[in-house]
Structures are given as structure tokens and as C-alpha cells.
Structure 1
Amino acid sequence: MSTDVSRVAVVGDCPAYRYGLARVIDSAPDLEFAVGARSVAQAEGELASGDLLLLDLQEPPGALSATVSRLAARGVRVMVVYAAPPADIGEPIRAGARGCLSRQAGELELLAAIRLVVAGCRYISAVLAVGPRPCLAPPCRVTKREREILELVAVGETDHGIAVRLGISENTVHSHLDRLRDKIGSRRRADLTRFALSHDIVKG
């Protein structure tokens, strides 16, 4: 197995949703579904060796934050899944969660969010956030081709893969990415993904 594959565990109350997450995670070449369980205790054996835990437990906010805090203290990277916006989206983050994901998230958003959190970034689904959606830079004009490239970057495609899928040269991809980096004011690939998500370029 490639060392570049990230292992993702899922703990949640709903078997159908766990199954759906497993299917999407295993469809990505750089991700592996590690375990699906109804409780943290049932997934215990996989947590230490995993890269991310998606926590989808419908618990009272205080109890959920306590669970997140215990896991974070052990070095487990956690992203909390919500069926509806919580009263305080900051509570799980303060407890140590690396992100908050909506159950409404489509496949593209789910995979992009997982990759961002595994890479060390934070992620919060826009539908869960209170107030205006954050963005990394003032609004800027993005061409149709740049939008296509941003969407592929957000789902983890390589520069070579983007070139093949769009039928253009890899040098052309690099040129578009350079212009995009200038527009958003960052050279980091993870920031390109965040920009795509926050500007509805990736809708799932």
C-alpha cells in the first residue's frame, strides 16, 4: 500500500450514512476507509493508526465536545459531522476538532474537506457557518478554464491528471495555476482548494 494513502475512520449513529461515506472514501485513490462503527469504543483499535476520524454522533453539544476533547488529547484528528447547523459552530473547534462537515455535503466537498484536514488545515462547511461565507481574498474574476482547473485541484487531481482530463498540456496547467495563485494571494495548493469551496466552484 502506498504511504500516500490516508486512512479515514467513521463513527456515527446512522448505518446508511456510514455506508455512504465508506463508498465515497474508498472511491478515492489517495484515501482508505479504515473502519465504520456506532461508537468511539467500537472503533478504538483503528483510531491510533488512522489519519482522520469523521464523528457523526447525535449527542448534546456538551457531550459531543467532551468526546472531541478526549480524542484530540490523544492525538486523534477529528472532523465533526452535523445534520443541521449547531447553535455554536465554534464549540467543537475549541474542543479540538479540526473541522465541521455538513451531512448535506456532496462527494466533491466531502473528499476536498477530508484532504484539507488531513493536510493540517481546518474546514467548516459553508452551510454550517453563521454569517457571511469566509473567503481568502477579495472577489476576483476567474475564467471558465480556471474554474475547471480549480475544481479538479479541489478533488485532489495532480497537474498531470488535470492536463489529461482537460486535453491541454501540463505547462498550460502550470500557467493557469500560477495566475490563480496570484489572484488569491497564496502559493499553497490547499488554499486553492479552500478558495474553490468558498466561492461555490466545488458544489459536490
Structure 2
Amino acid sequence: MTEQQPVRRERIKVGVIEDHPLYRDAVARVLAEADDIELGAVEDSVAKFAVSKQPPGSVIVLDLKLRGVADAAAVLEVNGMGHKVLVVSAHAGKNEVLGAIGAGAHGYLSKDADGEEILRAIRTIHAGNTYVSPTLASMVIDASHDRNAGPRIDLSKREREVLKLVAGGERDVDIAEDLGISVRTVRSYLDRIRDKTGERRRAGLTLIAIKEGIVPEPAVH
């Protein structure tokens, strides 16, 4: 009788984009030592990572404050490569957290998180779920409560489309291309949105997009 060989579980493919050398090396070491993780590209910018051979479908540990492409735009770009993003950032204010989630991040941790929590978040995201650390969950819950309380902002269909793209980190020129309108028209819509919401900053507009249900909020753990 032939002895059955044990089934080898496919390891989770993970990459890292982090521009602080010591922290980058520490995270890479934690990942390399995990039996169920296959560590791939480890780079200090989105531009360098973009030319790596990291296979699509990987979970990418991403810092927000990078040279070149940063913040929500960095999340959007890495998502566009076919990956799932776990933000691990020293910047964990409400604007950063909800802005990254609005741009499509599957998880968010502060750099206070230890190696075990980073691994737990990666495994959760790989399984198809989202992960926000307990220390940051309250602001996501508050955003949900704020969204469900009080009158909704009266935005037109086109204004909601523009706001959704702003929350995704798109520039005015990209929004114009996506919607087939001029940059001048995009800015006109943005002026109307700002007048209706009283919010001038793009990060603040991202929060409003989440509160209005224009972009989804994550599950919290």
C-alpha cells in the first residue's frame, strides 16, 4: 500500500514597501521566519516595487509616507497591480486610516503593532477579510455612526462619482479621463462638493465619502 505524502499548504505571497531601512529589515525578518509566508519583493518605493516580479494576488505591507507616490495614491497604485494592501504606518490619524481604506486598503496597523499582529493581519487579509487593529477600530466605528446619523449631503450622481474617485486618490486629470469630461469641469464639480460639505482638503473629502457610503468601510477585528 502506497504511503500518502502530506499535502503541502501553499504559502502566502507577501511583499514589503517601506522606506525606513531598520523597520523594513525588521518586518522582512519577521515575514521570512514565518512558515506560511513566502517573502518576495522588499523595496523602498512604489516605483521600484512596480518593476519587481511580485506575483499578483500578494499581500503587500505598505508604508504610507513614501517618496514619490504616497498616501491614498500609493494604496490605489498597489491595488491596481492586483495586490491586497496592508498599511503599516507611523501615521495613524483618522484622515490617514479612513483615507487609505477609502482607497482600497484591506487592512491598517500602526507601527506600534508587533510581529504577531502583522502576521495575523496578513493571514486575515489573505483569507479574503479586512483587518483594522483594535487600537484603530474606534475611529472606523465612529465614522460609521457619523454616516448613519443626521441628514445626508445632497450630492448629484456626478458629484458622487467625482467624490468616489477623489477618495480613491485620483488626481483631477485622472478623474477627467475616467469620466470623459474636462479637467475644468472636474474642478467645477469639486467646487460644488466643497461648497456643500464645507470641506476643502482631499483627505477630508475622503472621510465624507466613507460617511456617505460612497466608498465602503472595512470590517474591524
**TM superposition score normalised by structure 1:** 0.58
Partner of 1:91: 99
Change in Cα spacing, 1:72 to 1:102, as seen in structure 2 (3 Å) is same
Tell me the residue number matched to 1:172: none
SS where residue 25 of structure 2 aligns? helix
Cα separation, partners in 2 of 1:49 and 1:132, compared to 1, 3 Å = closer
Q: Deviations over 1:119-175 (max 9, x none)?
A: 1110112223335989xxxxxxxxxxxxxxxxxxxxxxxxxxxxxxxxxxxxxxxxx
Pairing of 1:14-33 with structure 2 (within 5 A): 14-33=20-39
CA distance 1:30–1:63, shift in 2 (3 Å): closer
Matching of residues 24-173 of structure 1 within 5 Å: 24-44=30-50, 45-49=52-56, 51-59=58-66, 63-88=70-95, 89-131=97-139
Give, in whole Å, the separation in 2 of the partners of 1:70 and 1:35: 16
Q: Report the TM-score when normalising by structure 2.
A: 0.54
Structure 2's unaligned 5+ residue stretches are 1-7, 143-218
RMSD: 2.7
Distance across 2 between alignment mates of 1:57 and 1:94: 14
User: Which stretch of the first structure deviates more once superposed, 110-119 or 75-84?
Assistant: 75-84
Q: Which amino acid aligns with 1:111?
A: L
1:49–1:25 Cα change, 3 Å: same
The count of residues paired between Structure 1 and Structure 2 equals 135
**Change beyond 3 A, Cα 1:41–1:132:** closer
**Do 1:47 and 1:53's aligned partners in 2 also have CA atoms closer than 8 Å?**
no
Q: Against the structure 1 CA distance between its residues 129 and 85, is the aligned structure 2 distance closer, same or farther, given a 3 Å change threshold?
A: farther
Rg larger in structure: 2
Q: Could you tell me how far 1:50 is from its partner in structure 2? A: 5.5
Give distance in 1, aligned partners of 2:70 and 2:43: 18
Measured against aligned partners, the alpha-carbon deviations of 1:73-130 in whole angstroms (never above 9, x if no partner) come to 3322111111132232221111111111121111221111110011111011222333
Q: For the Cα contact (< 8 Å) 2:13–2:58, is it kept in 1?
A: yes
State the structure with bigger RCO (CA 8 A, min sep 6), 1 or 2: 2
Take 1:47 and 1:41, find their aligned partners in 2: how far apart are those partners? 13
- Which structure 1 segments of 5+ residues have no match? 135-193, 199-204
Secondary structure of 1:47's counterpart equals coil
What SS does the corresponding residue of 2:86 show, helix, strand or coil? strand
